[in-house]
Amino acid sequence: MTVQSVRGFHDILGKEAKKFRKVSNTARRILKLYNFEEIILPVVEYAELFQRSVGETTDIVQKEMFVFEDRKGRKLALRPEGTAGTVRAFIQHKLYALRPYVKLFYEGPMFRYERPQAGRYRQFHQIGAEVFGVAEPHADAEIIKITYDILNALDIKDVVIEINSLGCKKDREAYREALLNYLRGVREELCSDCINRMERNPLRVLDCKVETCREAVKESPKMIDFLCDECRKHYESLKEYLKALNIPFRENYNLVRGLDYYTRTVFEAVSDSLGLTLIAGGRYDYLVEELGGPPTPALGFALGVERLMLLLPDEKEEEEIYFVIPFGNVHAYALKVADRLRSKGKVVELSYRKGGLKKQLEFANKLGVKYAVIVGEDEASKGEVTIKDMETGEQKSVKFEEL
């Protein structure tokens, strides 16, 4: 039996690889416009990092992490997301001592043991950005604007940006009590997971995807009604800035996100047609301190590359390819012709295919090349080539030096 790829771990090839690079290049170009600096993070971290940041009671930590022991029995994990590692690095390298605030972005594979389906994999790719050291809501507005710019640059429509505020620690405590009281009343309607985690982390119930749980929380108390004056002002300012930037958004008071570190602003860019979240993020003002750093407000977002790819059209080949076809014993000359064209910045493929002109031109069409560059013994002896425009069929001789 031949060996297959692991379930949920996929190859990305051909047109899909082009879409992957398009998402990546576009996001990187836009992050550069906002002057973010890249951080290249390791794929493996101590499992404890995610337990303490993403949260013990989250699906990600409870069910979805790839955890294993190294030879010394230390518990390691394949990273399920990029925020925790970025915060770890921010603290470890004392980046807070460097500048009043720090803006970082990262790109790479993440790993979650989820049930694979369209747009959901066990190895997927994120591009994310994090801002450390800014509490004011104009930073929140800019983070949301970046996601909006990326969607626009990729010409992805039919996406709604949903926002909510989860308040500060104090607000959350009051809300937690109210929500817990409510949940105890509808306990019978909840799934077993929610019953298990509700006492420890009632907010998780709001994020449950099980239909009966969704129904049961429809009438639950809303976080937004528990915001203190400062958190409310923060949220109102954010909305004002989003309006000033002409970013359409929808308030979703049940949006709590599947990770525990969030405070105040949370947001998601949701595709209604796919029924998937494409980009998500928010504030996590306590996380740096909780992981051992100085108190540092922070926020960020991450996009799912594969999810954005689902909404991109197939692209036509844009590159003008020159296809050099040697006939006879002219390989040295053909190599030089290809080299000369590349030195002029042209994309050149030297044909490795064997066979006569008809077969070669058929193959050239298959590759979608613009010009066939025919190099026969006659051309080689005269120091020329014959260039054929594959679209118009026009053909002419050109001297090597004039290529």
Interface with ligand HAM includes 242 (CB under 6 A)?
Answer: no
104: exposed, middle or buried (C-beta count within 10 Å: 0-12, 13-18, 19+)? Answer: buried
Q: Rule CB under 6 A: which of 89-118 touch ligand HAM?
A: 112, 114
Q: What are phi and psi of 192, to 5 degrees?
A: -65, -35
Taking the complex as a whole, the smallest distance from the CB of residue 311 to ligand HAM amounts, in Å, to 11
Taking the complex as a whole, the smallest distance from the CB of residue 162 to ligand HAM amounts, in Å, to 12
- Using the structure block, give the residue that is written with the tokens 């998601």: 268
Q: Rule CB under 6 A: which of 116-135 touch ligand HAM?
A: 119-121, 124, 126, 128, 130
Instruction: Name which of 312 and 324 has its Cβ closer to ligand HAM.
Output: 312
- To which H or E segment does residue 268 belong? strand 263-271
Cβ count within 10 A of residue 273: 11
User: β-pairing, 123-132 with 75-78?
Assistant: unpaired
Total residues binding ligand HAM (CB under 6 A): 27
Interface with ligand HAM includes 224 (CB under 6 A)?
Answer: no
- Nearest Cα residue to 128 out of 8, 259, 314, 310: 259
- 151 CA to centre of own chain: 12
Instruction: Name which of 137 and 304 has its Cβ closer to ligand HAM.
Output: 304
Please enumerate, as own/partner, the contacts of 177-186 that have beta carbons within 8 Å and a separation of 24 or more: 178/221, 178/226, 179/203, 179/205, 179/206, 179/220, 179/221, 182/219, 182/220, 182/221, 183/216, 183/217, 183/220, 186/216, 186/217
Taking the complex as a whole, the smallest distance from the CB of residue 271 to ligand HAM amounts, in Å, to 10
- Binding segment for ligand HAM (CB under 6 A), chosen from 31-39, 192-200, 295-303, 334-342, is 295-303
Taking the complex as a whole, the smallest distance from the CB of residue 336 to ligand HAM amounts, in Å, to 47
- Binding segment for ligand HAM (CB under 6 A), chosen from 248-256, 299-307, 374-382, 384-392, is 299-307
Taking the complex as a whole, the smallest distance from the CB of residue 143 to ligand HAM amounts, in Å, to 8
Taking the complex as a whole, the smallest distance from the CB of residue 130 to ligand HAM amounts, in Å, to 6
- Using the structure block, give the residue that is written with the tokens 């290049």: 25
Sequential DSSP letters for 113-147: ----BTTB-SEEEEEEEEEES--SHHHHHHHHHHH
Taking the complex as a whole, the smallest distance from the CB of residue 141 to ligand HAM amounts, in Å, to 15
Instruction: Name which of 137 and 258 has its Cβ closer to ligand HAM.
Output: 258
Can you tell me the distance from the alpha carbon of 203 to that of 47, in angstroms, rounded to the nearest whole number? Answer: 23
DSSP annotation of 1 reads: -
Interface with ligand HAM includes 146 (CB under 6 A)?
Answer: no
Identify the residue among 302, 325, 341, 369 touching ligand HAM (CB under 6 A): 302
Cβ count within 10 A of residue 385: 27
Instruction: Name which of 157 and 382 has its Cβ closer to ligand HAM.
Output: 157
Q: Which residue is nearest to ligand HAM (CB)?
A: 304
Taking the complex as a whole, the smallest distance from the CB of residue 333 to ligand HAM amounts, in Å, to 50
Taking the complex as a whole, the smallest distance from the CB of residue 80 to ligand HAM amounts, in Å, to 7
Taking the complex as a whole, the smallest distance from the CB of residue 153 to ligand HAM amounts, in Å, to 17
Q: Rule CB under 6 A: which of 54-93 touch ligand HAM?
A: 81-83
- Nearest Cα residue to 65 out of 83, 52, 55, 80: 80
Q: What single-letter amino acid sits at 142?
A: E
Token digits of residue 291: 């992981």
Interface with ligand HAM includes 330 (CB under 6 A)?
Answer: no
- Per-residue binding string, ligand HAM, 255-284, x by CB under 6 A, is ---xx-----------------xxxxxx--
Residues that bind ligand HAM (CB under 6 A): 81-83, 112, 114, 119-121, 124, 126, 128, 130, 258-259, 277-282, 300-304, 306-307
